[in-house]
Chains A and B, each alone.
Chain A
Amino acid sequence: MAPPNRTARVAVLGSSVQRSKSGHPSRGRVTLVRRLVLVVLVVAALALLTISFRSPTSGALHDVQGAGASALRPFQIAAERVAQPFRDVYGYFHGLTTAKSENEKLRSEVKQLRNESLKYQSAAAQLPELKRMLRYQEGPTFPKDYRAVNARVISFPSGPFTQQISIAAGSHSGIAVNTPVVTYNGLVGRVTNVGPTTAVVTLITDADSAVPAKDLTTGVTGLVRRGQGDSLILDRVPKDQVVQKGDRLVTQGTRDPRYPDLYPYGIPIGRVLSVGYSDNAIFVQVQVAPYTQFGSFDSVTALVSTKPAPKLP
């Protein structure tokens, strides 16, 4: 006899048996309801999706959605407020873990920015000098038959024994040995060694340097050489010649085409500081203050001749 909660259908091995517990719907009805619910919900969702997709920014559904969003907003704000302390704690620890790498990154950025800043400061500092060089090159005192090759100074005299600088231009720019080198202030020296992209300039303060010079006021000529200490002197001026304090000296230039000078005429060299006469000396002792402040310039101008190079005697 079948238990009271079973139907009268025969219990057959392997066949499904419907429970007829009171209050429980039949299997078929439950399945139908379940499927119906699913279909209704899916159709509703698809309908919402379609309407929403067709008019995403307007329409009744959009208004309803807006109202719903407004209604939900307080709950969202409440949730955010509840979560905020946890978020802060997370942010604090996350910040600690990333602080090291961020610190390194920022240090690298600071270094890079500092380098850029120095570069800009250096460029800004060079600007007035370059402007003056440009004015000099375009001015009336720039020697004829020469073209200017501007070059950065890449090394300065390293000690009292070396009165040479290196410049970042060489034979590729037309610079050759004995090429005169100037600044907008005056004569610097001449090239004594040259490479493809660099050249060595021996300054007029070098002990071996001798520059034929002329007093612009009196017309007296002599040789500008290194004197006592770092000063310059105008040598080879006979005692009967007149040289006065404050006279301006420039390069003498070529007087005889057979003996061309290394320096063109008229490059400022310096100003007479003092004139001394001694009974024992053959020549007048003339102290000269150079116009060029050696060691304070960043760039120079090499005067490359547009004519064939003169041959030294």
Chain B
Amino acid sequence: MSLVDGLKAGLLLFVAAIVQVSILSQIHVWGGIPDVLLVTLVSVALLRGAVVGAVGGFFAGLIVDTATFGQLGLTSLMLTFAGYWIGRYGETTGRDRAHAPFLSVAVVTVLYAFGLLLVHFFLGERAPAVPVLRGILPAIAMNLLLTAPVYALVRRLLRPASRSDLATEVQLLG
């Protein structure tokens, strides 16, 4: 990954984090909140792999926690895992599949919500499961709506890496 690509990815995630904190966090539809940062991170991770996904998730989470004056490190932790995991999925099986962004976003939306709930619970903070469960389907739906345009934009800015850049391992079948 080149420096320019890194800057582009960083800028994308920074803008997504600011938009998420400033605008989208105020939109509540049937208890769900759209998460453009998560969708952007998934897109970046799918296109650029696990390391970029994890680093991007960490710093994007840091921006969110800082801007909202929240528990520093909490969102970073969740987004690091999300970016890494989706990055690995992109590096191995999901990179050429059309449904990969949508599947990733749907799954990560659920895991991210439950992960946050779990961490809040372990920290002894308020962890209301019912509102989270109630809002999960609307959140998935809204994130899926965001996926197509966001993924298209990210793909335009970060051109998919060639196979040889991503795959360091092949299986020879004969």
Interface residues of A (CB under 8 A from B): 11-19, 21, 24-27, 30, 33-34, 37-38, 41-42, 44-53, 56, 61, 65-66, 68-69, 72-73, 75-77, 79-80, 83, 87
B130 interface residue per 8 A CB criterion: no
Residues of A contacting B23 with CB < 8 Å? 79-80, 83, 87
B117 interface residue per 8 A CB criterion: no
Contact B66 A41 (CB under 8 A): no
Interchain Cβ contacts within 8 Å, total number: 114
B67 interface residue per 8 A CB criterion: yes
Stretch touching chain A among B48-56, B92-100, B153-161: B48-56
Give the residue of B19, B51, B66, B171 whose beta carbon is less than 8 angstroms from that of A34. B51
B144 interface residue per 8 A CB criterion: no
CA–CA, A26 and B167, complex, Å: 11
Q: Digit string of B22-62 for contact with A (CB within 8 Å is 1, else 0)?
A: 11000000000000000000000000001100110110011
Closest 6 pairs between A and B when the two form their complex, measured CB to CB: A48-B73, A49-B73, A45-B77, A68-B66, A52-B72, A79-B22
* 30 A/B residue pairs, CB under 8 Å, sorted by A: A13-B172, A14-B171, A14-B172, A16-B171, A17-B170, A19-B164, A24-B168, A27-B168, A33-B51, A37-B54, A38-B84, A41-B80, A44-B73, A44-B76, A45-B74, A45-B76, A46-B73, A48-B62, A48-B72, A48-B76, A49-B123, A51-B72, A52-B73, A65-B66, A69-B67, A73-B67, A75-B22, A79-B19, A79-B23, A83-B22
Contact A14 B173 (CB under 8 A): yes
Residues of A contacting B69 with CB < 8 Å? 65-66, 69
Name the residue among A18, A45, A68 with the largest chain B CB count within 10 angstroms. A45
Distance from A44 Cβ to chain B, minimum over Cβ atoms (Å):
7
Residues of B contacting A42 with CB < 8 Å? 77, 80-81
Distance from A97 Cβ to chain B, minimum over Cβ atoms (Å):
14
B18 interface residue per 8 A CB criterion: yes
CA–CA, A44 and B61, complex, Å: 12
Q: Size band of the B side of the interface?
A: 35 or more
B174 interface residue per 8 A CB criterion: yes
Contact B58 A41 (CB under 8 A): yes
Interface residues of B (CB under 8 A from A): 18-19, 21-23, 50-51, 54-55, 57-58, 61-63, 65-67, 69, 71-74, 76-77, 80-81, 84, 123, 164, 167-174
Give the residue of B62, B67, B173 whose beta carbon is less than 8 angstroms from that of A76. B67
Distance from B81 Cβ to chain A, minimum over Cβ atoms (Å):
8
Contact B72 A37 (CB under 8 A): no
**A37-B55 in contact given A46-B77, A75-B18, A79-B23 (Cβ < 8 Å):** yes
Q: Which residue of A lies closest to B23 (CB)?
A: A83
Q: Which residue of A lies closest to B72 (CB)?
A: A52
Distance from B20 Cβ to chain A, minimum over Cβ atoms (Å):
9
Residues of A contacting B173 with CB < 8 Å? 13-14
Give the residue of B57, B63, B72, B73 whose beta carbon is less than 8 angstroms from that of A72. B63
Contact B22 A76 (CB under 8 A): yes
**A19-B61 in contact given A37-B54, A79-B23 (Cβ < 8 Å):** no
Residues of A contacting B61 with CB < 8 Å? 45
Residues of A contacting B168 with CB < 8 Å? 18-19, 24-27, 30
Distance from B35 Cβ to chain A, minimum over Cβ atoms (Å):
15
Residues of B contacting A49 with CB < 8 Å? 71-74, 77, 123
Distance from B74 Cβ to chain A, minimum over Cβ atoms (Å):
6
Contact B22 A53 (CB under 8 A): no
Give the residue of A14, A21, A48, A53 whose beta carbon is less than 8 angstroms from that of B123. A53
Contact A45 B80 (CB under 8 A): yes
Residues of B contacting A48 with CB < 8 Å? 62, 72-73, 76
Residues of B contacting A16 with CB < 8 Å? 169-171
Q: Which residue of A lies closest to B171 (CB)?
A: A16
CA–CA, A237 and B174, complex, Å: 140
CA–CA, A80 and B167, complex, Å: 42
Residues of A contacting B74 with CB < 8 Å? 45, 49, 52
Residues of B contacting A77 with CB < 8 Å? 22
Distance from A37 Cβ to chain B, minimum over Cβ atoms (Å):
5
CA–CA, A26 and B169, complex, Å: 9
Contact B72 A11 (CB under 8 A): no
CA–CA, A73 and B18, complex, Å: 9
Q: Which residue of B lies closest to A61 (CB)?
A: B72
Contact A45 B73 (CB under 8 A): yes
